[in-house]
Amino acid sequence: MLVLLEDEKMLADSASELLSSVSPVSQQRALRDESNELGFYPEVWQQFVEMGWTAIPFAEELGGLAFSYKGLTAVFEQVGRHLTASPLLSSIALCGSAIECCASAEQQNAWLPELIAGEQRYAFGFDEQMFHDIDHMAITAEVTSDTVVLNGQKTMVMDGVGADAYLILVKQKDGFDLYRVPSDAFGLSCARVNMIDSRNYANVTLQHVTLPIAAKLNETTLSQETIQAVLDVGRVCLAAELLGISEQLFATTVDYLKTRVQFDVPIGSFQALQHRAAWLFTELELSRSCVLNAAISLDEFKAGHISAHKLSREVSLALYKVSTMTDKVTTQAIQLHGGIGVTDELDLGLFLKRARMAQCQLGDRDFHQLRYARTIIK
């Protein structure tokens, strides 16, 4: 069903309510103005934990709620609308899913409950270049019988500053390996990278980091499909966040069209602007269908009802559509506000900057278009 069910709607409503009170957009501005190293407020993160949002997709035995990804993405839509900074994407959607998907039962029991409880926070290092690409990596892992030595660098690690541990992705000849590296491991260094959205990104350097072999999550090599399916969880969350950002910007813009008067009439009575607004509305609605569909696909994939191949198509469709739409909405939001639209006084710029980063983080438009194309043409 491409609609939110009753309990999913309740979840979205409670997220909207909580974020309006504990995390108004002014917080994002404050994080930026004070050059906050962490890029989010731990008190707000604590609220996420208390609301149970960190537990949403995980099995009950591990402290999870066994609720749907569709529900989780409904929360992300609200996160986008309120421009809330939190490690929900990095620590829960990405690292949590990676552990659930790739780690041994013993490791899951050891790590996931702490992650869900917010006692530990993980960050995921996968990219090494200045764009999303896990097919080309320089990092190496030398495995002996009981240790592994990691050498290399990961870049744009989301919420890398201050993380308790990192999941580090290593490309092998025929797949991938995944290692858990505590942040205090000898040889690991972490440097903040300042990006336009003022969120937390880090370059993580590993120089002869030596770990017990138990740091490895997977017993057998992870396939491209497995890793992509983990990243797809993050992708759908990003798509939902972008949808929320665009909804908020669009609503603000339509309000402005109704109130700003020039030539003695509200500017929203000019047909040229009405048509632009109407087109943005259609693009928003088309994207919303795709995001819902991608979220449902995550649940269906987890339940074994669809293939990783189909999942990748539905997810890339969502990010492509939402990203294309967000470009239009952000540009028009500023244009239709006129001069005040380019000032820092309005929140438009904060939304724009977060959107642009989100549009890059797990594959840009071009990436997803090609990925979609490959799923239909071999």
Among 30, 117, 340, 373, binds another protein (CB under 8 A): 373
Complete edge-to-edge strand list for the sheet that includes strand 140-143: 140-143, 147-158, 201-212, 188-192
Among 52, 120, 293, 308, binds another protein (CB under 8 A): 293
Cβ at position 355, least distance to another protein in Å: 19
Among 287, 323, 326, 359, binds another protein (CB under 8 A): 287
Binding status of residue 300 toward another protein by CB under 8 A: no
Among 33, 50, 133, 285, binds another protein (CB under 8 A): 285
Nearer to another protein, 10 or 342 (CB): 10
Q: Which residue from 10, 4, 16, 11 is spatially nearest to 251, judged by alpha carbons? A: 16
Nearer to another protein, 1 or 105 (CB): 1
Let me know: does 318 contact 305? Beta carbons within 8 Å. Answer: no
Binding status of residue 289 toward another protein by CB under 8 A: yes
C-alpha angle 324-330-334 in degrees, rounded to nearest 5: 150
Which one of 62-70, 186-194, 217-225, 317-325 is the stretch in contact with another protein (CB under 8 A)? 317-325
Nearer to another protein, 130 or 265 (CB): 265
Residue type, position 239, single letter: A
Binding letters toward another protein, positions 52-71, x by CB under 8 A:
--------------------
Which one of 162-170, 213-221, 233-241, 267-275 is the stretch in contact with another protein (CB under 8 A)? 267-275
CA distances from 118 to 48, 75, 205, 222, 305 (A): 9, 17, 25, 27, 31
Structure tokens belonging to residue 94: 């990405």
Residues 204-263 that bind another protein (CB under 8 A): 254, 257-258
Binding status of residue 377 toward another protein by CB under 8 A: yes
Binding status of residue 321 toward another protein by CB under 8 A: yes
Among 260, 270, 327, 346, binds another protein (CB under 8 A): 270
Binding status of residue 372 toward another protein by CB under 8 A: yes
The Cα 205–Cα 38 span in angstroms is: 18
Binding status of residue 133 toward another protein by CB under 8 A: no
Among 57, 71, 268, 363, binds another protein (CB under 8 A): 268
Structure tokens belonging to residue 179: 């290692």
Q: Is 124 helix (H, G, I), strand (E, B) or coil?
A: strand
Binding status of residue 144 toward another protein by CB under 8 A: no
Token pair 């009981």 in the structure block, residue: 146
Structure tokens belonging to residue 118: 């917010």
Tell me, rounded to whole angstroms, the distance of Cα 256 from its chain centroid: 29
User: Dmax over Cα atoms in the chain, in whole Å?
Assistant: 79
Q: If DSSP states are collapsed to H, E and C, what string results for 288-301?
A: HHHHHHHHHHHHHH
Among 274, 307, 331, 343, binds another protein (CB under 8 A): 274
Let me know: does 361 contact 132? Beta carbons within 8 Å. Answer: yes
The Cα 160–Cα 181 span in angstroms is: 12
Q: Which residues bind another protein (CB under 8 A)?
A: 1-3, 5, 254, 257-258, 265-266, 268-271, 274-275, 277-279, 281-282, 285-290, 292-293, 317, 320-321, 369-370, 372-374, 376-377
